[in-house]
C-alpha cells in the first residue's frame, strides 16, 4: 500500500485576494492611499463621492491646501475658480494614486455633464491636459463618464483621440452594447446597485449565481467575449464577497477596502467562474442598436433607468458638496 501523501491544496494556503488576482485584475475602489498600499491592486478608481470623503480627512488636507494655494494666483474668480480647483484636486489625487498602483487610475468628469456630449469631451480634455502637463501619460488615465447616450458618444469621440474612457453607472446590456460599439476602453457595470434594486422590489435576498447583479455582468461579459469586443468589463459596486467570487475571471473587479480586507483574511478556495472561451458557446444573440433603440430599451428597463438617474444625481450632489467645501476654504 502506498504511503505517499496527497499534495496539499495550494488554495488553502493562499488568500482569496491572491487567488482572485490569478483570474482577474483587481482594482481598488477608494480614494484612500493606505488601503492601496496594503492590498496592492493593479489599478485604482475614484468618483466624486470618494474624493469628497477623502478631502474631509486630516491626512489629505495638505493635497487640498497645496492646490488651493497654487491656483489662487491663476486669476480666476467665482464658479470658474472653483471648477479649476476641483479639476486640479482630482488630478492631484490621481497623481498620488499613480505613485502607488502600477497601472491606471480612473478620474471622473462632472456628473452634471452626463447629458452634454461636448461638455464631457471638453472636461476630459481639461483633465488629460493637466495630467500630461505633469508628465503622466494618457495611457495611465481612464476618464469616467456616465453611460448615457450622450456620455457614450463623448467617449467614442475621445477614444479616437487616444483618450481612454471608463463608462460608469452601467446597469444594462443595451448600455454595454452601445459602449462596445463605440470602442470605449472599459465599462463598470454596478453589481451591488442592481442587487439593491431587485432586493427592494421583490422583498427577498439573493446569493451566489442567482444574484441579479452577478447575472447582469455575466451576460455582458459573455456578449463581449462571444462577439470579440475589446472593451474591458470591470464589475463594480459590490455588497458582499459572494458577488466577487461569482465573478472571478471577469477582466477587472473594482473592490472597496473593507471587502479587500475580507478577501485577504480568508483562504477559502476560489475557482474561475467567467471564461472567455466558454463565453463563445453561450446562446446569447447579437443585437444592433441605434439611438432610438437604445433609448427605448433603457426606458423599458425600470431598474436600469432608475439606477442610472439616481447615480447621476448622487454624484452630482457630491460635486456640489465639494464645491461648497472648497468655497469655504477659499
Positions annotated as catalytic residues are 144
Query: Is there a contact between 330 and 86 (Cβ–Cβ < 8 Å)?
Result: no
Question: Which residues neighbour 232 within 8 Å (Cβ) at sequence distance 6 or greater?
Answer: 185, 186, 187, 251, 252
The residue among 100, 106, 107 whose CA lies nearest residue 41 is 100
Query: Is there a contact between 141 and 162 (Cβ–Cβ < 8 Å)?
Result: no
In sequence order, the β-bridge partners of residue 142 are 106
The residue among 37, 40, 67, 74 whose CA lies nearest residue 51 is 67
The residue among 56, 25, 30 whose CA lies nearest residue 261 is 30
In sequence order, the β-bridge partners of residue 186 are 166, 232
CA gap 199, 9 in Å, rounded: 36
Q: Phi/psi at 89 (nearest 5 deg)? A: -65, -45
In sequence order, the β-bridge partners of residue 108 are 144
The residue among 64, 57, 130 whose CA lies nearest residue 98 is 130
Contacts 24+ apart (CB under 8 A), 323-329: 323/82, 323/86, 325/52, 325/55, 325/56, 326/64, 326/68, 326/82, 326/85, 326/86, 326/89, 327/82, 329/64, 329/65, 329/68
Q: How far is CA 168 from CA 25, 116, 141, 190, in A?
A: 17, 15, 15, 8
Residue carrying the nine cell digits 475571471: 249
Amino acid at each position: 500500500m502506498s504511503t505517499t501523501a496527497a499534495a496539499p491544496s495550494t488554495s488553502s494556503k493562499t488568500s482569496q485576494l491572491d487567488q482572485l488576482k490569478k483570474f482577474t485584475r483587481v482594482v481598488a475602489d477608494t480614494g484612500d492611499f493606505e488601503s492601496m498600499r496594503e492590498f496592492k491592486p493593479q489599478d485604482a478608481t475614484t468618483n466624486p463621492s470618494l474624493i469628497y470623503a477623502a478631502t474631509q480627512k486630516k491626512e489629505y488636507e495638505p493635497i487640498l491646501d497645496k492646490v488651493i494655494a497654487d491656483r489662487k494666483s491663476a486669476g480666476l474668480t467665482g464658479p470658474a475658480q472653483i471648477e479649476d480647483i476641483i479639476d486640479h484636486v482630482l488630478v492631484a489625487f490621481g497623481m498620488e494614486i499613480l505613485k502607488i498602483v502600477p497601472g491606471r487610475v480612473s478620474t471622473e468628469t462632472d456628473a452634471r455633464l452626463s447629458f452634454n456630449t461636448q461638455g464631457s469631451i471638453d472636461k476630459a480634455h481639461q483633465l488629460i491636459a493637466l495630467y500630461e502637463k505633469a508628465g503622466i501619460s494618457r495611457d495611465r488615465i481612464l476618464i469616467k463618464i456616465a453611460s448615457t447616450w450622450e456620455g457614450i458618444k463623448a467617449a467614442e469621440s475621445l477614444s479616437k483621440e487616444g483618450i481612454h474612457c471608463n463608462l460608469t453607472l452601467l446597469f444594462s446590456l443595451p448600455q454595454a452594447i452601445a459602449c462596445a460599439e463605440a470602442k470605449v476602453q472599459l465599462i463598470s457595470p454596478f453589481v451591488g446597485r442592481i442587487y439593491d434594486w431587485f432586493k427592494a422590489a421583490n422583498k427577498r435576498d439573493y446569493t451566489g449565481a442567482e444574484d441579479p447583479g452577478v447575472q447582469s455582468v455575466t451576460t455582458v461579459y459573455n456578449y463581449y467575449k462571444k462577439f470579440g469586443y475589446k472593451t474591458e468589463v470591470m464589475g463594480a459596486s459590490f455588497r458582499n464577497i459572494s458577488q466577487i467570487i461569482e465573478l472571478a475571471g471577469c477582466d477587472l473587479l473594482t473592490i472597496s477596502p473593507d471587502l479587500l480586507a475580507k478577501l485577504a483574511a480568508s483562504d477559502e478556495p476560489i475557482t474561475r467562474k467567467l471564461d472567455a472561451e466558454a463565453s463563445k458557446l453561450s446562446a446569447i444573440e447579437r443585437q444592433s442598436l441605434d439611438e432610438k433603440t437604445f433609448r427605448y430599451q433603457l426606458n423599458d428597463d425600470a431598474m436600469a433607468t432608475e439606477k442610472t438617474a439616481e447615480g447621476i444625481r448622487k454624484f452630482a450632489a457630491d460635486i456640489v458638496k465639494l464645491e461648497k467645501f472648497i468655497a469655504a476654504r477659499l
